Amino acid sequence: MEDVVCEICGSAEYGVLLDKLWLCEKYNWKKEGRILFSDGIPVNYRNVCCKQCGLVYINPRMTDEETIKFYESQYREIYTAKDETKIDNLPFTNVHLGLEIYNAVVRYDFLKRLGYLKKGINTLDIGSSFGALPAYLKERGCNAYGVELSQFADYTNELFGVDTIFRVPFEDLKTDIKFDMVTICDALEHFSHPKNVLLKIRDLLKDDGIVLIEVPDIFKPHKPLFGFLSNAHLYTFSPNSIKNLLNIGGFEFLHFEYGGYCMNMRVVARKGKFREIEFRDDFNSIADFFLRYDKVYSAMENYNRNILSFESAMKVVKETISEYNPIKFIEAFRAYEKGDFARAKELLMECLQSDFNEEDLNFQKGNIYGLLAIICFNTGDMVYARFFLKQAFELLPKLYEFPYLEGLANKGVFNIKEFVMRRGLYYEELFKMKRILKNYEKKT
């Protein structure tokens, strides 16, 4: 373990946001010096916030050597979905591979929508995991590469027939290839020195190349704070801190939105001038937000367990983070299952007013529109059924267009229908409804 200063502004002044030392007693974890161990795995325990610029980071943390060893041998095993039996002794599950495919599809759809995808371009995906995104890009005519440190890189060729994945630390990657596009999604927050990562990306890009960055937003947690501020995330960025990092890394900001299954920040940038930091977050504002978020998340959990009524849970929401919508979605789904379609529809329409989602795919807008379409269809309102159906298909990722589904099913390693069912997604119902409405229109 080592003490570090702020990566962005270099300040050593910080305030502590979350200190996990109490976990030693609660869970009987082992403590050696300043390192906690859970089942023999080192767990970083203190998240701090820079008092100068507001960057949130782990301090102290594993050394660079310890971090590389952690990702080579432990990270993927720890964070692989553990809620079902692994497939034929492979180190992943149907749900885990499905989430990787889901992410690949939403990123492909996003890049296509913005016009960045062309045949023949060179692409590099940093932290490529199983290689689903490079595989998709390669199948669509790109010269697609990936870099992945963990053992998951060994499965890319077996799963997708792609052999262009470098299994090395990104910092050690050596290539003469210049890339039109680099993607680094759910990865930048894992690096010890994200500024150096951006400098290396800058060097690998062509002059007119672009980088896509996806990172969690500290102001939009998608799980309990203990899990959100995990030992694997050395940094937790805000919109301000990611812009500052781009400034000092020599990039020009092009595009910003939220997307992916965790509704993370999605940033597109190109090579530009090196600039000073311009934006600042306030430690007290972040600390206050965390306290309020902890209250609404606890209210959601207690409502889900029937400890709190809907009215009591929503009272907490209104007093803390009014845009927090998962409680409304759960209540809407309960009303739907009881056959109270009017109540369900009313609450779902309210859910559409907010993007504040938990780490649950069926809370997102495409799936909400899908449930609204199903409700309208069941109540005979075909006009709105068609309208909501169209909105659902525009927003839901085009999962069934992923080109390897049949091959993965034949290998017995992935079943798309099982995945969407387990994640509460309405694709199958919507496909059926689409066929029925099409036949209905022909008859009328």
pLDDT of residue 79: 52
Q: Where are the beta strands (DSSP E) in 170-272?
A: 179-185, 205-215, 235-236, 251-259, 264-271
Beta bridge partner(s), residue 16: 48
285-443 folds as 1.25.40
pTM over 0.85: yes
Q: Which CATH number does the domain 94-281 belong to among 3.40.30.10, 1.10.10.60, 3.30.70.1230, 3.40.50.150?
A: 3.40.50.150
Contact 189, 234 (CB under 8 A): yes
Give the pair of three-digit tokens for residue 294.
């902890």
Q: What is the pLDDT along the chain (444 residues), one digit of tens a residue?
A: 789 999 999 999 999 998 876 666 666 666 666 556 666 666 667 899 999 999 999 998 878 887 777 766 655 555 554 444 455 666 778 888 999 999 999 999 999 999 999 999 999 999 999 999 999 999 999 999 999 988 888 889 999 999 999 999 999 999 999 999 999 999 999 999 999 999 999 999 999 999 999 999 999 998 888 888 887 889 999 999 999 999 999 999 999 999 888 889 999 999 999 999 999 999 999 999 999 999 999 999 999 999 999 999 999 999 999 999 999 999 999 999 999 999 999 999 999 998 776 678 888 999 999 999 999 999 999 999 999 999 999 999 999 999 999 999 998 899 999 999 999 999 999 999 999 988 877 766
User: Quick one: DSSP state of residue 39?
Assistant: T
Contact 125, 147 (CB under 8 A): yes
- Residue 380 region, left (φ>0) first, then alpha (ψ -120 to 50), else beta? left
In sequence order, the 6+-apart residues with CB closer than 8 A to the CB of 45 are 19, 20, 21, 23, 36, 231
pLDDT of residue 444: 61
To which residue do tokens 């977050």 refer? 281
Which sequence spans correspond to the domains of the chain? 94-281, 285-443
Q: How many CA atoms lie within 13 A of 93 on its CB side?
A: 15
Helix (H) or strand (E) holding 124: strand 122-126
pLDDT of residue 126: 98
Q: Reduce the DSSP state of residue 433 to 3 states and report it.
A: helix
Q: Reduce the DSSP state of residue 88 to 3 states and report it.
A: coil
pLDDT of residue 77: 55
pLDDT of residue 81: 44
